[in-house]
Amino acid sequence: MTDVVIVGAGQAGFQVAASLREQGHPGRVVLVGDEPGVPYQRPPLSKAYLSGALPGERLALRPQAFYDKHGIELVCGRAVGIDRDRRRVALADERELEYGHLVLATGTRNRELPVPGAKLDGVLGLRTREDADALRERIGGARNVVVIGGGFIGLEFAAAAAKLGLSVTVLEASDRLMRRAVSPAVSAHYRELHERQGTRVLSDASVVALHGGHEVTGVELADGSVLPADLVVVGIGVVPNAELAADAGLAVDNGIVVDEHLSTSDPRISAVGDCAVYPSRHAGAPLRLESVQNAVDHARCLAARLTGAAEPYASVPWFWSNQFDARLQIAGISAGHDEAVVHGDPSAGSFSVFCFRAGQLVCVESVNRTPDHMAARKLFTAGGSLGRELLTPGFDFRQHVAALT
């Protein structure tokens, strides 16, 4: 009977604990988290919770009663060291927890803006419930909002702020929005969408300083211009929380390195979720993803291994983002694609982009076209793909997949 200690009580850590119990794990399950309260979901923080549409109690992944009922011990504390020889985790308050198996589910933290003024009052990030509460408090009194970073979280926040009627400017350092994750057609569509709602979008915009005394008053760009701002939201990416693993001598390379069974080089320590870099059969390379799907599926795969049903991790990556009335859903991994074909009508707000690598479909990005997204997931899950030559203008993707699977 193995006692499992899980460090990090976010989406992945919670799911490991819940799945272990689901699979009948008889040993202790201890979930250590450094945020207050029961584990909660992050996606609504930049969507319904931010706008007030989702009440705070609905953020929780499960109520306290769930943990009591299933014998999952919630420990509030910060893990600061791992003694691999004695199989113990040290907490900041000097408590020690002994483990049979240790799971690192430490997630990521926001990358800091490396310019003068980044710590002024009114400059905020969005990762935790505490961050979202601080933003909710500020947003009502704000007039000029500047969002630094045109990725998913920055844009979801910008949409929420624009809906409240605020003046919003999005600054993106690269030449297009969500560059890391989507094709140019989707970037262009979202730029138009935000601009139509009155948001100013500046690409190739490099921030050199934030101005203000105690409170932020402006954002200075490399060309010398200063944008007025009384609320600045920084969403310039994240850094994996991998120091605990590195200090314990485990391999770390832009995250905690694991094998296809999500094990680190120490067979008694695994890593899951946003903090883990795993060999992805879909990307054909090591990959670290930041998504609910990845956190949940990693966790289920690991719990299955720990309860005797080991299978290599093979889930199809998928993701969603809601901005205004557009639901973006991505199935597969578009990195390295060499051709992108638009299907449907972007001007009508409903289309999919099929991304090919060397003539084979590797990713489908769908905007308000959930059936395409579901078909793509089904196709990739079945190990299938689609040859580029089949995607003619009249091609019925959903029917094709239905016939195949």
Q: Among residues 93 and 223, whose Cβ is nearest to ligand FAD?
A: 93
**92: left (phi > 0), else alpha (psi -120 to 50), else beta?**
alpha
Q: Does 160 bind ligand FAD (CB under 6 A)?
A: no
3-state helix, strand, coil in the chain (%, to 5): 30, 30, 40
Among 159, 287, 295, 364, binds ligand FAD (CB under 6 A): 295
> Which one-letter DSSP state was computed for residue 300?
H
User: Stretches 4-12, 112-120, 204-212, 277-285: which one binds ligand FAD (CB under 6 A)?
Assistant: 4-12
Going residue by residue from 225 to 254, which x/- string records binding to ligand FAD, judged by CB under 6 A? Answer: ----------------x--x----------
Furthest-apart CA atoms within the chain: distance in Å = 65
Query: Nearest distance from residue 105's CB to ligand FAD, in Å?
Result: 5
Query: Nearest distance from residue 89's CB to ligand FAD, in Å?
Result: 9
Nearest-CA neighbor of 261 among 322, 216, 303?
Answer: 303
What are the Cα distances from residue 259, in Å, to 13, 42, 205, 265, 278? 18, 27, 39, 8, 6
Q: Which residues contact 267 (CB under 8 A, 6 or more apart)?
A: none
Across the beta sheet with 144-148, the strand order is 123-124, 231-234, 144-148, 167-171, 200-202
User: Stretches 8-16, 114-122, 340-348, 368-376: which one binds ligand FAD (CB under 6 A)?
Assistant: 8-16
Measured from each CB, the residue nearest to ligand FAD is: 10
Query: Nearest distance from residue 111's CB to ligand FAD, in Å?
Result: 12
Q: Does 319 bind ligand FAD (CB under 6 A)?
A: yes
Residue 247: what are its φ and ψ, rounded to 5°?
-65, -25
Q: Does 317 bind ligand FAD (CB under 6 A)?
A: no
Contact status, residue 240 vs residue 274, Cβ threshold 8 Å: yes
Among 5, 6, 9, 245, binds ligand FAD (CB under 6 A): 9
Q: Among residues 162 and 275, whose Cβ is nearest to ligand FAD?
A: 275
Query: Under rule CB under 6 A, which residues in 40-99 are in contact with ligand FAD?
Result: 42-43, 45-46, 78-79
Summarize as ranges the residues that interact with ligand FAD (CB under 6 A): 7-13, 32-35, 42-43, 45-46, 78-79, 105-108, 126-127, 153, 241, 244, 273-275, 290-293, 295, 319-321
